[in-house]
Structure 1
């Protein structure tokens, strides 16, 4: 792994023999691009051949020697939390993630603080929740992650916020209700009513869940277990990436979110979920079952749609409609089974 001493440039200008290419930029970005290139040239003793925007404030930098990720943070504190956390993971034995190339003086452009991250060369076979083996492998990686972060709680409980799932979901439901009349223009009002009912039942059943969560050991939660935060490298090893949403809480919160992520790829099969490690025990817990009733993906995506939609992208509307209706019968069958188990 290249360390920052190998990157640091002391008062030397780089003469390129090959033009630099840049992709993913938009009209009007030229000034930003040249400023970024100039800063990189002054700091690193490498010949930069390509700068590619991956998403907002995240860039892939390619040189002759190696590639790295440049990621922007809104404050120096946020960057340092990420740098120290990934380093702490490595020191505690969790090596299935990237490391930062730490520099005394970070790159600052337009009030964003940029950190340099090790690039993980991806495998040709991408990780997917559609694959049963991949799902189980990711679950084992998360379990390993929590076994390590449990030892970091004493330090990070003073740095990271607690995860308050009830507050988050209550806000999500309230926002969905504010958009309810608009949603009913595209979705059968009866289905919308059912979705709200599932959310309210989940929140009502979970109101007395503090004892359930307090009985579980606290860990540093990942906070976003979407499939794109698992990456298989060129050697076939699975990595966990992107710790922007880390917080403090019991691992069961991330397991709950993981279940919500994978169920659509399992045809909402309760039996298949029950056969997986961890969930075979959690599905015996009434509180966990209650939280499984919350249709978090539907509420999240409709709220995001109305927050971002400008009326010019009909595809985004079709996507959220498809998410809601495509597996609705299977989802409802799953929820009905969960409700029966809660009553037993």
Structure 2
């Protein structure tokens, strides 16, 4: 994605707005950048999000997905503007209907209600996409959880060599041990992470991909990372996202989450819960960042690494013990 243009400096945003006006035939008057590659455009009555895509195929797949979701009764997501792909200055953009978030009750995983509603919505998404999965087999890859995590672990280990003589390394070494243990067990049960039935996986169940509207309804957005696989792949990521809010309590995880409770005795799933994917992901991102970006992210990195370290290690030990005692 070519996002290097400084819109304010060279007038790119203004040109994009004028072009969208001409293509859509609607008098949008304002454009605001939300984040890199994403803008909000407004008229007196309408708001749309302009999003840049890496290519037309990716955009068309997402347009097709949202259309299928609506046709199968899943209404809790956005739709794309009928204009379809917008080509501007050798870049591809899509227009997405803006969903207004309830500012008085924003979605966050610290809320039990939010966790419950999000899991129910994600499960509905899986149920619906399983119904029309065959239409996407030619467009989406089957997700390989083991391969992704093995590469991430090795990348993390290589980057952490520079910390061997620091006070951080004993902590990092314990995370590495947990990752190696999880990968070792997952390799013995590789079919579990590929087994059918399949559905379309969302792939990024971070809190910012759920929007609570003013009427209380919850919406699922952003399908950039969709793939095909068993739903436990998404559920595994969901668990990793919410466990810090549960203070790494396995008891709360399986008692609060009805959709996850049936997995409490699936040993491969439990083993994968011990894999510290967030630690590896954030440290790798940090190590690949510029000095300025590292300064911005340092506090967050320290927080996830150390704030709940003891609770997390207890959780990991509990999971390891249960798995090894039931082999």
Judge same fold: TM > 0.5, yes or no: yes
The TM tier, using the shorter chain, reads over 0.9
| Residue aligning to 2:281 | 300
CA RMSD of aligned residues (A): 1.7
Mapped contact 2:120–2:259 kept (Cα < 8 A): no
In the alignment, the residues of structure 2 paired with residue 112 and residue 299 of structure 1 have an alpha-carbon distance, to the nearest angstrom, of 32
- Alignment CA distance shift 1:184-1:79 (3 Å): same
> Secondary structure, in 3 states, of the residue corresponding to 1:95?
coil
How does 1:234-313 map onto structure 2 within 5 Å?
234-275=214-255, 276-311=257-292, 313=294
Compared CA separation, residues 194 and 116, structure 1 to 2 (3 A): same
Alignment of 1:182-261 (within 5 A): 182-184=162-164, 188-261=168-241
Structure 2 gap segments, 5+ residues each: none
- Counterpart of 1:64 (choices 44, 50, 60) is 44
1:47 counterpart residue number: 27
Partner of 2:120: 140
- TM-score, normalised on structure 1? 0.88
For 2:292 and 2:15, the matched residues in 1 are separated by: 34
Residue 160 of structure 1 deviates from its aligned partner by: 0.3
* Partner of residue 115, structure 1: 94
Q: Is the 8 A contact 2:62 2:223 kept in 1?
A: yes
Check the 8 A contact 1:172/1:300 in 2, yes or no.
Answer: yes
Does the Cα contact within 8 Å between 1:135 and 1:262 map onto a contact in 2? yes
Alpha-carbon distance in structure 1 between the residues aligned to 2:128 and 2:119: 14
TM-score, normalised on structure 2? 0.93
Unmatched segments (≥5 aa) in structure 1: 1-24
Matches of 1:175 and 1:49, distance apart in 2: 46
Q: Which has the larger radius of gyration?
A: 1
Q: Which runs of 4+ in 1 moved over 6 A?
A: none
1:152/1:220 contact within 8 Å kept: no
Per-residue deviation, residues 275-300 of structure 1 (Å, max 9, x unmatched): 02122211111111110110000000
Matched pairs, number: 319
